[in-house]
Structure 1
Amino acid sequence: MKKKIPILLGLLLIILVAGSIVLYKTGSEDVAKLYITQGTVEVNLGEGFVPAVDEMQLLQGAIVRTGPDGRADIVLLEQDIVSLNPGTEVKLSDITPSRTILEQREGSTWNRVEKITGREYVLETPSSVATVRGTGFLISSDTLLVDDGQVDLKHKESGEEIAVTAGELIRQIHAGELKKEDLSVEDLKIIREKVLHDIEVLKRERRAAFAKHKIIYQQMKKKYGLSDEDVYQFLEDLDSGKRDFSSIEDKLPFKPKVLEKMKRHTQRIQTLQKRLERIDARIAELS
């Protein structure tokens, strides 16, 4: 592996520079991208529901729904993750760099929201409105679980409002009595699985940079005898801290936007890995 490190760095540099040229030409980010995890997933782009396609782009106003066996992830503006559980329907009502408004018409979602000053993230269910300040949370019409950060929850009918912070949950939201509880071991195990899934989604987003430049990527692998496993192991070394982005940045005359995105994803992966350690410690403490 050590002998391949300079080649892998060269491959990353070529991909990153090529990516910066493409991004410069397009001048925009994806509003949303859909990843299908399993089962039936459909999308309505304004002309009725049709089968969704893995990694398809979504525009503002799109509606995504999962069947009884379906699971999917929506990545908003290449940063926030909305994971749809089976039997869920979500509309992307308003998606801009400063504001995200989602309408969750049924079912439940896990949301991983990147904390950025001045941004608004609002998720509306049939029974409540949740305003988020950088957090991970699971929400349905009945339940809210908060992993970290804070969610301000307002009951639509009663008008009651409550701030739910890390390690807390509310059950039976539809009843209008917003009473907080501490997360149980079972709740923490659910969150743990969601955090693991967040990490996999971020890794998939990062690998998409290579997929955008498939021809260059395949040619470089063939020329230098590299495999996908070599590349992914190098990225895993970045995640674990065995290597850092300075080895890449120092070799570039400028910092392309795609490098900043890849670096941001890697830093978020590292943060979530530390979050897993804290969740495991809390589970051990309560068990």
Structure 2
Amino acid sequence: MKPNGADIDAICDLVNELCGIYLDTSKDYLIEGRLAKLVKQAGCASYVDFARKVRVDARLKNDVVDAITTNETLWFRDNTPFDALRYKIFPELIDAKAGSLFPKKFRVWSAACSTGQEAYSIAMAFADVVPDFESWDLQIYGTDISPAAVAQAQRGVYNELEVNRGLDQKYRGAYFVKSAGGWGVNDVLKRRCRFEVRNLLKPFTNVGTFDLIFCRNVAIYFTPTDRKSLFQRLGQTLNRGGWLFTGSGESLMDLGPNWAPKQHCRAVCYQPNGCNGVATLKR
């Protein structure tokens, strides 16, 4: 079913309302490609009718979010941010926490975690740095707008194709167990990662503060106003001296002088709440 002008307007409004993604009239191909099957299954005569039905059906809302969001991900995506973690960010944070009440506690937010590969990759990068990984209180909070993506992240099971996308054999041998469904993340990693569905455009209620945030390749789908608001609010959840990573093609220089980009191991990152020397933590 090909959408007309009224259909496109109705779906664009619906998608923005559900997950903050900004679509315009040029995205008719995407609307048809990703939602036509759902429209047919729902027994709707048009996309306008479908949008009305979705607003009063919680299951359909989840189906639309799962269909429209892009869950493109892989292990250690782009590589350079994880090199920066190993050789710059984690060592500095460890030094900064050495004299604190909780020297082994680290909180990380994978703010658009998709099916979990980013969060688990961060955990493995941390394990590369510290001795006796299991003695550290590493807490990784993974969130995504897609219920289906979060469900897979919680299961932590990946098929052969998924584990072959960026996962080195040494990590597979150390942290994965072969199962009937593919390869499962072992308990050493799983108990350090918690996943839940969260809309990044809603208030960050009860999330706490973090030493590190990854928010990559999601704000590019938001309006300029929503994008700016998102990163400002993310900055408020960072501990002093904490770091934020965005996608390789994203820049936050327009947010102000505190958001001057820094480059480590060829990865661009930001330290909006403390920029001098070794990271210092919020007291």
Q: Provide the TM-score with structure 1 as the length reference.
A: 0.25
Greater RCO, 1 or 2 (C-alpha within 8 Å, sep 6+): 2
Write 1 or 2 for the structure with the bigger share of strand: 1
